[in-house]
Every structure is written in structure tokens, then in C-alpha cells.
Amino acid sequence: MHTIGTLARRTGTKVQTIRYYEQIGLMPEPGRTEGGQRRYGDVDLDRLAFIRHSRQLGFPLEAIRELLDLSDHPARDCGAADSIARRQLREVETRIARLQALRSELERMIGECRGGTASECRVLEVLRDHSECLADDHDAID
Amino acid sequence: MHTIGTLARRTGTKVQTIRYYEQIGLMPEPGRTEGGQRRYGDVDLDRLAFIRHSRQLGFPLEAIRELLDLSDHPARDCGAADSIARRQLREVETRIARLQALRSELERMIGECRGGTASECRVLEVLRDHSECLADDHDAID
DNA sequence: CTTGAACCTATAGTTGCTGTAGCTCCTATC
DNA sequence: GATAGGAGCTACAGCAACTATAGGTTCAAG
């Protein structure tokens, strides 16, 4: 039997985060002591580790919910897990591409800055210059 | 004079977002009609475009606040703008590196999956396998 | 003068936690 | 058995940066 603090320490999770996972139904309600403190078994430790590892790979909590559900039903088809992972991979790839574009624009902006006062600043000028930006909606942002 | 809707359309911003920027002091309180509706000038349009362009480059609102402040004071030194931009570039580079690591792990995981039932699923197995993960705190996530 | 699109305020929800206040409990030590 | 203090408890507020909703008002075209 583990306390919530032990689970936290062993998985690198904050205590409040574990309670939060319980609240949203990702972690089960554990048994309690007479005094009302949570006591966990090894199964719970494994489940929390699964959640944290998935989070480290960037899976959103809703995806983790599905993955846990599959993990709880070993007879089901693996395809669903595979497609969740592929979706996540696509998501990561999209973000990388977007960030690489941002990186180029930032590099260009910084590379052109020759110092001086704010009025001469190339960085501010680029940001002000909405010629290619106004009215046509890019997405980007994050 | 522009309505809030015109500003929104011309900058690709949601109307609520403009009101939100006003609320947090990024956009000034504009003049109002007798009936209480906001009316903007071209200066406001430029300012909003600046904000949106900066957001598209991933600058957080607090950084944009500083950049706007510099832009409002042309005599100041440009160095601050430059260092904000460099900070943002470093941030973007860090995120790219992290996402690339995630991509590798996801690719490996997916590449090893040979289908079948959930119990045989390599994806789930990798997520369950906390051997390298338990107790040592990575960061990652996102 | 009427219609209806666009505006208004205020508030709650999103994602995934994190932090705080003000308690109670558990366990080790004396 | 008493006590100290670290760990646990609930409940709620806050973060970033919006987005959505409800329920009402205004503006401009026909």
C-alpha cells in the first residue's frame, strides 16, 4: 500500500496532479484509511506511470483515456492504439513544421537588425509590416 | 472609423479576442458611439496587426507588451527588442528539439507495432513500460 | 419603420495542471 | 501517552490565451 506522496515521488508527478487525475476519472478512486487518506496498490502505480509516460510523449488526456481503456481490455484490436499514436505523430510533425517556419522568420528578423534606436529597429519593423499578413488568415500561433 | 468587426476581419482576429486585448490593456480603450459601440482609427488597426503578427511568431502576450512599448518610443534603444526576439528564437529552438525527440520515439513505437490484440500491442507495451521512466524526472510534455 | 446583422456585457469553459488557505491525520520520538 | 511536524485532506483560485454562450441593444439598409 502506497500513500499519494509515494506515488508522486515514484512517478515524478505532483500530488495535486494525481488528485486531479482522479477527479477527471483517469485514475480510480482508491481505498482510504479510517482517517480518510488515500492508499494505493501497485496497479495504481502502473496506471499512473502509463499516464505520465504518455503525457511525456505529448498525448492529450483524452487520447490517454482511450489508450488506458484499450490497455484494460487486452482482447480488443490493437488498431485503435496504433491510430491514436499515428494521429499524435502527425500532430507532432505539424508542430515541428510550423515551428521551423517560425524559426526561419525569427532568424531572418534578428539577422537584419543592425542596432540603433527603436525607430530604426528591423525587428519592430518586421512586426509592424503587415503587408503580407493583413486580411489573409494564417493560422500558426504556437 | 472602423467597427470592431472590421478590425476583426482585416486582421483575422475574433471580435472577442479584440475585446480581450482591450481588457488586459494591450489595445487601448477606443472611442464609442452614442449607443456605446466601439469605433477604431487606423492607428488601432496597425496596433492590432502588430499584435497578431507577433502572436503568429509565437511571442507571448507579455513579450508583445514590451515590443509595443518599444514601438511607441522610437528614441529608445533597439537592443531590448532584439533580445526579446532572440529569447523567442531560443524558445522555438528548444521546442523543436523536444518535438523531434518525441517524433523519434513515436515513430519507433509505431514501427514496432505488428497489429493483433491489445495485449500484444507494442504501442501499449511501450507506454506501460516505465523501466526508464519511473523515478527519474524527465520534463518534456508538450 | 422594420428587420436582422452586428454590437454590447458578463460569465463560464477550454487544457492540464499548479498554488493557496485552513484544516486534519499519521507516525516517530520522548 | 503526549506531542511535534511532515504529510494528507478539501475547496477554490489562477495560469495562458483565448472561445463560447446567453440575453440583451444598436445601427444601417430597404
The ipTM, to two decimals, is: 0.80
Decide: CB of B33 under 7 A of nucleic strand C: no
Here the cell at position A139 is 493560422
Å between CA of B63 and C1' of C6:
32
Give the residue whose CA sits closest to C8 at C1': B37
Class of domain A4-76: mainly alpha
The minimum CA-CA distance between B106 and chain A, rounded to whole Å, is 6
* Alpha-carbon gap, residue B99 to A97, rounded angstroms: 10
Determine whether the distance from the CB of B8 to the nearest atom of strand C is below 7 Å.
yes
Alpha carbon distance B97, B101 (integer Å): 6
Instruction: Please write the tens of the pLDDT for every residue from A33-83.
Output: 999 999 999 999 999 999 999 998 889 999 999 999 999 998 898 888 999
Selecting from B76, B84, B117 the residue whose C-beta is nearest the C-beta of A117 gives B76
> Residue A118: which of B74, B93, B106 has the nearest Cβ?
B74
Give me the torsion for CA of B92, B97, B103, B104, rounded to 10°.
170
Residues of B in contact with A52 (CB under 8 A): 130, 133
- Average pLDDT of span B121-127: 87
- Pick among 1.10.1660.10, 3.30.70.260, 3.40.50.2300, 1.10.3720.10: CATH of B1-59: 1.10.1660.10
pLDDT score at A142: 56
Using one digit for the tens of pLDDT, what is the confidence trace for A82-97? 999 999 999 999 999 9
Q: Is the CB of B62 under 7 A from strand D?
A: yes
Can you read off the three cell numbers belonging to residue A118? 527603436
Q: Alpha helix (H) ranges present in chain B?
A: 4-11, 15-23, 42-56, 61-72, 79-112, 122-128
